[in-house]
Structure 1
Amino acid sequence: MIRLGEHDLSTEGDCQTLPSGVVCAPVHQTFSPAEIIPHPTFNRRGTIGDDLALIRLDRPAIFNNQSHSISIITDFVRPVCLPSANHDTETFLGGRFATVSGWGVTERGPDTQILQKVLLPFVNQDECNPHFNNGLLQEQICFGGDGPRDSCFGDSGGPIVGTTANSPISVLLGMVSFGQPSCGVAGVPAVYTNVASYRPWILSNLKP
């Protein structure tokens, strides 16, 4: 089962009380996979290498947003942009942090019901690789090491996105892959699948 537009797993509807009244998101959308396409060399290179798959939905997703009376635009389901094949994440971010999100383990434990997000710094491979026995692939990138803020168990496969300095458009920089046995350790980043490295493969598997 695939679900879009979900926020709080413990409720059927996601609502927020604002000064102008209660605002609710559209009902989440649930899909079945029409096709699952794992990367052909998943786990054949390095430590959890080529860690990604494509899922084709059984019907088109509905993109939606809602304008509040206080002039705030909230996007509930919207597409994310793929990076270019020659995308350089460090240059793209220019020192800005990226946002990772998921329902994984937090400092409060594993029963996270509300979608969490956190801002993380990019860490280059020269700094990250020694934490993983210098075994990282070129197609892997790292984020984190900034104190307790981190992705963790249960976040795997989740997105980390960034925006340009002058645009709110989100770019999918990576997906949570793996880390150390303890999350949120200062100075220790986690490893993400670098989406830019797989753009040709992703495009080759798209259908109208």
Structure 2
Amino acid sequence: QIDEFPWTAMLLKENGKTKHLEYHCGGALISRTFVLSAAHCVTFNAGGTNIKDPIKLVRLREYNFFTDPDCEVEGNMLDCAEQKVDREPRRIVVHPGFMAGTSPTYNHDLALIQIDPVPPYTDFLRPICLPERAMRPRRFLTVAGWGKTDFFKDSIGTINFSPIKMKVVLPHVDWKLCQQVYKLLHIRVNESHVCAGGKIAQDSCAGDSGSPLMQYDPRSGSWFLMGVASFGVQNCGREGIPGVYTNLGTYLDWIRENIQQS
């Protein structure tokens, strides 16, 4: 549905040759002026130095990359979303503990992207809730994004991203079990991670980095951001190997401190 997960964000970069905007990573709107994503999507090193091709735009209120506005038919009625919202990054704050490229894993893989205030909230645009400190992942979690969908092709090289926002429901995997799986691959997983997946052809994949790992709380009727897509194995969607997400519950103080400083 075009109004499902109205906090999902696209991080867009400019193709150096064509100058066209291209999808790069996902993210989640957490306030009127901040989007949360993965640090490795925006930088090589802590402190925002050695930026890769810089993020050109943060896009919100998006469903199908190639249509504007997005529309769907409900009964005999045509239901259309409001026009997409594009914002240039004003400031990017990378977690100071993040160091990409030092190992095959990413610790502290979080970045806050400050943008100009978004329009008033509607069914098509609103932030997701940050988790409460004592909140634990439920049995099943949901990921949404525009990442690669041809799971069994090598993730390196040309990546065909989905032009349409997709979602997948994944089983939560205890981090200690996840740690054992990744230890065999010489990759470290710890309590600052949340793991989900491990079912064949059901996974986040290349391009889903930064996308939200979410859970629905039936008591409050709200969705909560439990994690941010960080890393997985090269060929995603493999049986017994879950994807790894940065555990938001570990970083609430850092997130709130940086939002308040703006």
TM norm structure 2: 0.69
Picking from 105, 126, 129, the partner of 1:81 is 129
Is 1:199 aligned to 2:247, yes or no? no
Q: Please list, as runs of the form range in 1=range in 2, the aligned pairs for 1:96-107 lying within 5 A after superposition.
A: 97-107=140-150
Picking from 51, 59, 70, the partner of 2:109 is 51
2:251 is paired with a residue whose SS is: helix
2:150 is paired with a residue whose SS is: coil
- Following TM superposition, by how much is the alpha carbon of 1:125 offset from its aligned partner in structure 2, in angstroms? 1.4
- Following TM superposition, by how much is the alpha carbon of 1:182 offset from its aligned partner in structure 2, in angstroms? 1.1
What amino acid does structure 2 have at the position aligned with 1:136? Answer: V
Q: Please list, as runs of the form range in 1=range in 2, the aligned pairs for 1:30-45 lying within 5 A after superposition.
A: 30-43=86-99
- Following TM superposition, by how much is the alpha carbon of 1:61 offset from its aligned partner in structure 2, in angstroms? 4.0
Aligned match of 1:154 = 207
- Following TM superposition, by how much is the alpha carbon of 1:166 offset from its aligned partner in structure 2, in angstroms? 3.0
Write out per-residue CA displacement over residues 33-87 of structure 1, whole angstroms, 9 at most, x where no aligned residue.
111100011127862110011011122443112xxxxxxxxxx111111112333
In 2, the alpha carbon distance for the partners of 1:167 and 1:145 equals: 29
Q: RMSD of the alignment, in Å?
A: 1.8
What amino acid does structure 1 have at the position aligned with 2:181? Answer: H
Give the 4+ runs in structure 1 shifted more than 6 A: none
The unaligned stretches of length 5 or more in structure 2 are 1-56, 152-158
Is 1:123 aligned to 2:164, yes or no? no
Asked if structure 2 preserves the Cα contact closer than 8 Å seen for 1:85 and 1:198, the reply is no
Aligned match of 2:74 = 18
- Following TM superposition, by how much is the alpha carbon of 1:168 offset from its aligned partner in structure 2, in angstroms? 2.6
Is 1:27 aligned to 2:75, yes or no? no
The unaligned stretches of length 5 or more in structure 1 are 66-75
In 2, the alpha carbon distance for the partners of 1:80 and 1:50 equals: 20
1:131 is paired with a residue whose SS is: helix
- Following TM superposition, by how much is the alpha carbon of 1:105 offset from its aligned partner in structure 2, in angstroms? 0.7
Aligned match of 2:65 = 9
What amino acid does structure 2 have at the position aligned with 1:13? Answer: P
In 2, the alpha carbon distance for the partners of 1:62 and 1:165 equals: 25
Identical positions, percent: 36
Aligned match of 1:183 = 236
Greater Cα offset, 49-58 or 78-87:
78-87
Count the aligned residue pairs.
Answer: 193
1:88 is paired with a residue whose SS is: coil
Asked if structure 1 preserves the Cα contact closer than 8 Å seen for 2:142 and 2:167, the reply is yes
Asked if structure 2 preserves the Cα contact closer than 8 Å seen for 1:85 and 1:200, the reply is no
Aligned match of 1:166 = 219
